Amino acid sequence: MMTKKRSILILGILFVGTIFLLLFLLDTVSKNDARVSFPKWKTLFFSSQKSSLEEKGRVRRVVDGDTIEMENGEKVRYIGINTPESVDPRSAIECFGKEASAYNKNLVEGKELRLVKDVSDRDTYGRLLRFVYLADGTFVNELLVREGYAFVSSYQPDISKQDTFHQAEATAKNEKRGLWNETTCNGKK
């Protein structure tokens, strides 16, 4: 009789352990692959875990229209957009590049920002890839496109905001803002 109770206890412990191991593995997969999501059980079993998708920091300097350097030394490349080049030593300064860089500088330099990860953490140059928000909630990536300082430039897998960016670009084109104006670049680099 004692052997049967002990067997049931061991099987129960193994079953519960297996369930928690599966939940842990699924949680790990869902963090590494945005297509996998288990929000109901995740909040039940892992609610004490801090999300690594969001962080805050202060801007030390603006590198150009779509890249900044934080006080901690990390360089951040804005996801989903591309501004005309203004500092790349391999290419000439592109039309509206200096204006885009100056606008970005005025917008974010020295300010506290909220940085939000999409899927990828870094680009091939080691820069953090992030959606960037001002303290008041202004979505910097989208604003640069809407005001005509940036083009939409979405790459898989970081495309969660691409519809927002395309709408902002359509607005900039229709209103001939910034680089879409015929007196500046007329939409060309």
Q: Please report the pLDDT score of residue 13 as a whole number.
A: 82
* Maximal C-alpha separation, the chain: 91
pLDDT tier at 47 (50, 70, 90 boundaries)? Answer: very low
pLDDT tier at 19 (50, 70, 90 boundaries)? Answer: confident
Q: Please report the pLDDT score of residue 26 as a whole number.
A: 60
Q: Is 94 a catalytic residue?
A: no
Q: Residue 140 in contact with residue 134, Cβ under 8 Å?
A: yes
pLDDT tier at 188 (50, 70, 90 boundaries)? Answer: confident
pLDDT tier at 41 (50, 70, 90 boundaries)? Answer: very low
- 46 compared with 163, residue with greater pLDDT: 163
Catalytic, out of 58, 69, 71, 77:
77
Per-residue pLDDT reduced to its tens digit, 127-179: 999 999 999 999 999 999 999 999 999 999 999 999 999 999 999 999 999 99
Bridge partner list, 132: 115
Catalytic, out of 85, 94, 147, 169:
85
Residue 33 pLDDT greater than 90, yes or no? no
| Three-state helix/strand/coil letters over 113-148 | EEEECCCCCECCCCCEEEEEEECCCCEHHHHHHHCC
Q: Residue 151 in contact with residue 134, Cβ under 8 Å?
A: no
Catalytic, out of 94, 127, 142, 146:
127
Residue 30 pLDDT greater than 60, yes or no? no
Q: Is the dihedral of CA 21, 23, 28, 32 positive or negative?
A: positive
State percent of the chain over pLDDT 90: 63
Q: Is 112 a catalytic residue?
A: no
What integer is the mean pLDDT of 115-130?
96
Q: Is 85 a catalytic residue?
A: yes
Classify the phi-psi angles of 96: left when phi > 0, otherwise alpha if psi is within -120 to 50, otherwise beta: left
Residue 73 pLDDT greater than 50, yes or no? yes
Classify the phi-psi angles of 164: left when phi > 0, otherwise alpha if psi is within -120 to 50, otherwise beta: alpha
Residue 122 pLDDT greater than 80, yes or no? yes
Residue 35 pLDDT greater than 70, yes or no? no
Per the prediction, the chain carries an average pLDDT of 85
What integer is the mean pLDDT of 98-127?
97
What integer is the mean pLDDT of 6-27?
72
Q: Please report the pLDDT score of residue 65 as a whole number.
A: 95
